[in-house]
Structure 1
């Protein structure tokens, strides 16, 4: 019994596949495509253990297509070209059922490796299915991304995970022979972090640690059996998300000591430097914003620098940026402003642009009063004149409230001096 439990229980059909109902449920976006056999090239984006590889295999089986798989970790351009050539010979040029090429961890492919896929995808020699745990907008080249649909896979919820455990107990060839009482599941579910593969591997480890076939599983037993396995940093699993969360929250909480500690945990664990730098770039805007606009500049320069340098020297640049961000004044005013604006758009729909601020490049548009009564701010004292820029239905709506810090207090004073009759600053 060398095959892991997660592999033995891997679903072979849509009926056995758990979770992701938004994709393969009764009204899922992929359901009809699979039934009709019309599969576009796509990228599955989601945390580890959410069924990306399994779903790709099932799609190939359900649509009766040849299936080729590569891992971006150990495949190069030559491997990609060899597989594409095999795919073409297997009938990709002469049938609507062109082969499926599955690439695991596609975000690890270099630009040249991704470029080597373009023609095959564009010509329809293969249907590409890529799997990634990272945001494809950052990690997949735009030319390839534009040729693919992106589908998000969510972490398994409690019901899905408990169903998996019950399947293991009742259906697995080996575990079903034991008398297992699953008394408590909280510890198992917590340690899995929504990762189905990790859950089953932990469960198998616990079951195999018992000498007797009569097994009672409690939270205390789970923690006792696996505590030594959760200390190390796992850059593809739960700790990957927990530690980056601790890192960003330490920066947000203005604690450079904690921030640099969690940074060290990631550096020692071999975390991708661009992943760390990208999160700091987001934090510089979300958590610091206009309280210190320079933070965004430094974070952006950090991202560019570590992308060019790599380890080990990048750790110094990352540390400089992390401590700078932690020591910066904080404001989420800009973040809240765009959230408020998006919510307003959802509630009010596509409101018309006021005529006075519409563009009027043609005579007809001018005759329709496009741009009429627009007041050019630079023609007035202090380069300002009070004007209505919002649709009439939401006029005088304040979406940006400056934070309470020296820079944004200056913003508040600026706005208060100008918008005396419109906004309450």
Structure 2
């Protein structure tokens, strides 16, 4: 096979850790992984991050850096039998680094099969996952691994990646390519190095060799839209599909919601992942306009775990339609974000004395709890009283959405504001 038939991301796969772009927090000078490798030490690791940020490559280069055998497995086609064979063979080798891609797709028995080997040091495990390992990796295995988060590539990193490719790859150099505009390249890459390089390869394939060729935003958009199937050939539609799914729920379109969910299921998406995304949407996009949405989404999450496919599709479909047709509100989502931002800026403010508990005589003598007004002692179980530090008096974080449920709950809040004017 000629080099030009090998995908560009593979042609340019880094050969050394110093060539990795965008993960300096782990591999830069004095960063944790760099220090461990410099000391000849490699623990079992879980890499958590989006697609196309170098999880597989980094795992291979870490093994090479400490001169260990490297065994690569995919959770999609590896069973307990294959795992046990790899572990059994490891007894005849220098402790191998066993890389498992998409480790979140391993069930409990598969993860348990790894546990003893990791614990006894028969293998060094490096697992890669796009899902939060706190949810998807069992606690016993997780406790024996260091978890490191890999970041999406920012605009500067994507631009560096593309420029390096243009300078290093023989096929690209023959096209004499000049990048006039990077915006569309960066946008379509969406932080994914593999997507960025695949798209550059596609664009270059439309250019004539040995003449000046220019990449503009218009050229990128035209090529990407005409070749979307090839552009996504690495199977990284995961994030695009779930984005369309969530936005259809948010937009109250049950038909589109079901369609995108069906696309995910047909593509082999984990139904538990879909249920988890609906659990988040129920709070973020529906919230207190319909609190039952969160309850139903929570029950859907548990039911899908218990039932599994194909029956889980029915539960997922029921919940998806319910969420899509529910009243929408992001008022509490916005409020908690504002509150967190304010808390970070004002963490030094003390709790007012009247809001503090006074379980001891000394605390009472110091004024803890003094002048606190117990709302249930007043008409309608309400009394005007300050609950924020004096420095934040009048701060308003929560703005109710104009829907029936939240307007009803706003009554006492409005009364408080009117009395304070």
Measured against the shorter chain, the TM-score band is 0.7 to 0.9
Q: Specify the alignment match of 1:399 in structure 2.
A: 397
Q: Specify the alignment match of 1:109 in structure 2.
A: 106
Q: Specify the alignment match of 1:412 in structure 2.
A: 410
Distance 1:56 1:371, change over 3 A: farther
Query: In 2, are the aligned partners of 1:46 and 1:155 still within 8 Å (CA)?
Result: yes
Q: Specify the alignment match of 2:292 in structure 1.
A: 294
1:136-151 equivalences in 2 (<5 Å): 136-151=133-148
Distance 1:157 1:344, change over 3 A: closer
Query: In 1, are the aligned partners of 2:9 and 2:198 still within 8 Å (CA)?
Result: yes
Query: In 2, are the aligned partners of 1:23 and 1:31 still within 8 Å (CA)?
Result: yes
> Partners of 2:233 and 2:266 in 1: how far apart?
10
> Partners of 1:127 and 1:75 in 2: how far apart?
17
Query: In 2, are the aligned partners of 1:48 and 1:236 still within 8 Å (CA)?
Result: no
- Normalising by structure 1, we get a TM-score of 0.81
Distance 1:101 1:358, change over 3 A: farther
Distance 1:145 1:391, change over 3 A: farther
Distance 1:116 1:382, change over 3 A: farther
Distance 1:64 1:310, change over 3 A: same
> Partners of 2:232 and 2:307 in 1: how far apart?
23
Q: Specify the alignment match of 1:45 in structure 2.
A: 48
1:33-72 equivalences in 2 (<5 Å): 33-72=36-75
> Partners of 1:120 and 1:244 in 2: how far apart?
35
Q: Specify the alignment match of 1:241 in structure 2.
A: 239
> Partners of 1:351 and 1:206 in 2: how far apart?
56
Query: In 1, are the aligned partners of 2:188 and 2:196 still within 8 Å (CA)?
Result: yes
Q: CA deviation at 1:284?
A: 1.0
1:16-415 equivalences in 2 (<5 Å): 16-26=19-29, 28-87=31-90, 89-92=92-95, 99-172=96-169, 174-175=170-171, 178-184=174-180, 187-208=184-205, 212=209, 214=211, 216=213, 218=215, 227-231=225-229, 239-349=237-347, 351-353=349-351, 382=380, 389-391=387-389, 394=392, 397-415=395-413
Distance 1:418 1:19, change over 3 A: closer
SS of the residue corresponding to residue 68 of structure 1 reads strand
Q: CA deviation at 1:52?
A: 1.0
CA RMSD of aligned residues (A): 3.7
Moved more, 364-373 or 125-134: 364-373
> Partners of 2:112 and 2:358 in 1: how far apart?
42
SS of the residue corresponding to residue 165 of structure 1 reads helix
Distance 1:85 1:355, change over 3 A: farther
SS of the residue corresponding to residue 131 of structure 1 reads strand
SS of the residue corresponding to residue 26 of structure 1 reads coil
Q: CA deviation at 1:330?
A: 1.7
Distance 1:354 1:171, change over 3 A: same
> Partners of 2:43 and 2:377 in 1: how far apart?
54
Q: CA deviation at 1:226?
A: 5.4
Aligned residues between the structures:
416
Distance 1:367 1:236, change over 3 A: farther
Distance 1:419 1:170, change over 3 A: closer
Q: CA deviation at 1:271?
A: 3.2
Query: In 2, are the aligned partners of 1:291 and 1:331 still within 8 Å (CA)?
Result: yes
> Partners of 2:167 and 2:282 in 1: how far apart?
50
1:3-14 equivalences in 2 (<5 Å): 3-14=6-17
Distance 1:419 1:217, change over 3 A: closer
